[in-house]
A and B are shown apart, each in its own frame.
Chain A
């Protein structure tokens, strides 16, 4: 819907520019076109950034399929699914916010942006709950090291490998139908778990960073909306933020099945 109304921002006639048009642009239309093209190119770099990770995921999964089978038992699929719904809903409210800005409905813009921000925060809180569970069971990559940085002990740096709660791992695998593991098999499973958690935290961590940045930008746009800066003459910031937010959502839509929904 954002694509169909670029002509809403018409250049002013008579060479007198609107106040929001920067000095180096001839018209609001040129400024809008530049911003849009620049944003799409930036999103392209984001896609390539994540595609490096996805490419790595594909290679790693082809080489070590068992790592993914073992690892995904330890993720909380209901929470992941809930987060997926939250993000998709936030994309809807974001798109509606852009539409409202184009139609001069400033109150709606403010409300919809606020809902989008709340959804982003909800996502982060749920993500935080998931991360906390991993931390409690000693399954965060580099956890021993991170704990060492924040402790007062002045000992030598511990190994980078994390040592998960063995009893927890055994119980969890038994629930998933892998009963009667001997010690050697269990050690192998723990190694797999380490690799899996590395990938899990790399993918979801980078995605979460993008969500945080998105929420930050949304807050700025919300403040601008409260001050009444947007309308049919000018909605570029809402539109650009929307594009970014949709990309963040889109990446999660790939991350979720790749990590949580492994058969």
Chain B
């Protein structure tokens, strides 16, 4: 446990000091930037969820239901995918909790480049505006992957979306550079690499990928826009170009990008599991190194998105074999979390409920990924809703659950308010049930041949009459899931008005950000000279008066 600080900061809460709208818009305070990101990504989540509900409603019954044109449906799933990927899951955890907690966890006053951090926020806003423009101009129908030659010939505003994604890439790179440099140069003297909270290891691995992969997407999207606008023949086979090359470039970014999404999520889970088990994290170094291993291996597996795209059999086999290796560090993390919980004193507060959801759902998501990583089974389930289900078990079941776990975990420190814990647990159950109802049926119908991206499956019913039943269950689950998210929003927003004042350390965490006041003061408190083991909970005891944890006398 860290030694108590000599004196707490005398500055006021970061929420009100300094006051005024202008001080928020031009703030260089990482905590404010994190909070503004939280608001923005939540809006993106709501937008993406809205499109998801439209998709689910359309698929409930065979034949056209709410959408009359197939092209409208194409736009719906493209917008759902693009908004969720580029505006929600990629930035969500680094930009919100990473920005908020990283400097405080290091006892630093801010990230290394605060202006760059603010620029990251504004680039995100500009990217968001571009995607809203896409919406106003009728949406795009290429799928979120922008594959040419369709993306260079469709009449929908692809360039706007591509430029939006390009700008969001800058936002991501800025965050990555900031985190890498901050972790390297601003750790306190007493904190070696292996004294860092594991959340920072997750963010470090994420930042490595953001910095190495995002520029490749940037150049790819730029070339795509140039091809569409000026007709330079890079991807168009009619002009000697190579459309497969686009897929290679695109997945060289977009496969590592799923680790941009999941690594910080795993970092959140590492914190939450240890704190709520009241037990030292098991296998610290293995968890830390597995973050780096995932970051590096993630660069070597992009070809598994192209098993049916016409790459050679040998390349397919190599990519398949490499894909399996990613399972190892992922499993190391899961085993270590389970070992941490073993014989721990587990408290089922909402953050822990969502962490358990994460382990359960990500386990299913990860294991079904093996079916897709093997060449033969992938041919069978390729482009079916099995892929959709797998992806959502890892991304929604993984990142979204970790986001909610982190949101419930850091909420008292971000806002200074406690929310209703029982309702928090209810929301976790509701989301868990809704989630499984939505996506588990898609595994079943996917393995039986339900293609993805079909808006009308009437013809398939001749062979598979049970599809309608599963689709109805999936839609009911989808509305339950979104209902659960609305409940979370309601619980948290309600806490702002009627919630009890949060104690400084409500969960008994050992990391440095919990040693200051709630909400965090404007000036971060510096780290003590002797930074102890942040996963040692022996020195903390619950104080009935403040309803929070304090140092043992």
Contact = CB atoms under 8 A, between A and B. Distances in A.
A14 B109 CA distance: 19
State which size class the interface on B falls in: 35 or more
Nearest to A64: B240
Given A37-B185, A160-B231, A48 B240 contact: no
A159 interface: yes
Contact of A24 (B110, B116, B220, B229): B110
Contacts of A49: 215-216, 218-219
Contacts of A155: none
A23 B523 CA distance: 11
B215 A52 contact: yes
A212 B230 CA distance: 22
A141 B231 contact: yes
Given A41-B181, A44-B211, A194-B239, A59 B230 contact: no
B245 interface: yes
Given A34-B185, A64-B240, A48 B215 contact: yes
Contact of A44 (B112, B114, B212): B212
B233 A198 contact: yes
Interface string B403-418: 0000000000000000
A33 B181 CA distance: 9
B215 A53 contact: no
B232 A202 contact: yes
Interface in A28-66: 30, 33-34, 37-38, 41-42, 44-46, 48-53, 55-56, 59-60, 63-64
Contacts of B223: 52-53, 56, 202
A214 interface: no
B419 to A, nearest CB: 31
A67 B111 CA distance: 49
Interface string B245-257: 1000100000000
A48 B239 contact: no
A238 to B, nearest CB: 18
Contact of B173 (A33, A37, A45, A60): A45
B185 A194 contact: no
Nearest to A146: B230
Contact of A42 (B177, B219, B234, B242): B177
A142 B231 contact: yes
B113 interface: yes
A201 interface: yes
Given A30-B186, A46-B215, A195 B114 contact: no
A24 B113 CA distance: 9
Interface in A199-254: 199, 201-202, 206
Contacts of A51: 216
A52 B216 contact: yes
A45 B211 contact: yes
B109 A56 contact: no
B535 to A, nearest CB: 26
Contacts of A195: 232-233, 239-241
Nearest to A37: B181
A161 interface: yes
Nearest to A59: B245
A53 B220 CA distance: 8
Contact of A38 (B112, B219, B220, B242): B112
A105 interface: no
A56 B230 CA distance: 18
Contacts of A162: 231
B240 A56 contact: no
Contact of A202 (B114, B184, B186, B234): B234
B146 to A, nearest CB: 15
B162 interface: no
Given A45-B173, A48-B216, A34 B232 contact: no
Interface in B173-213: 173, 176-178, 180-182, 184-186, 211-212
A34 B112 contact: yes
B528 to A, nearest CB: 15
A202 to B, nearest CB: 6
Contact of B215 (A34, A45, A56): A45
Given A34-B185, A34-B186, A142 B229 contact: yes
A73 interface: no
A145 interface: yes
A46 B111 CA distance: 22
Nearest to B246: A56
Contacts of A142: 229-232
Interface of A: 22-25, 30, 33-34, 37-38, 41-42, 44-46, 48-53, 55-56, 59-60, 63-64, 67, 141-142, 145-146, 159-162, 191, 194-195, 197-199, 201-202, 206
The 6 closest A-B pairs by CB, nearest first: A160-B231, A142-B230, A198-B232, A52-B219, A24-B109, A24-B110
14 contacts: A24-B110, A30-B186, A37-B185, A41-B176, A45-B214, A52-B216, A52-B249, A59-B245, A141-B231, A145-B230, A162-B231, A195-B240, A195-B241, A198-B231
Given A52-B220, A202-B226, 17 more contacts: A22-B114, A24-B103, A30-B185, A38-B112, A38-B178, A41-B181, A44-B212, A60-B241, A63-B240, A141-B226, A141-B231, A142-B229, A142-B232, A159-B231, A162-B231, A198-B234, A199-B232
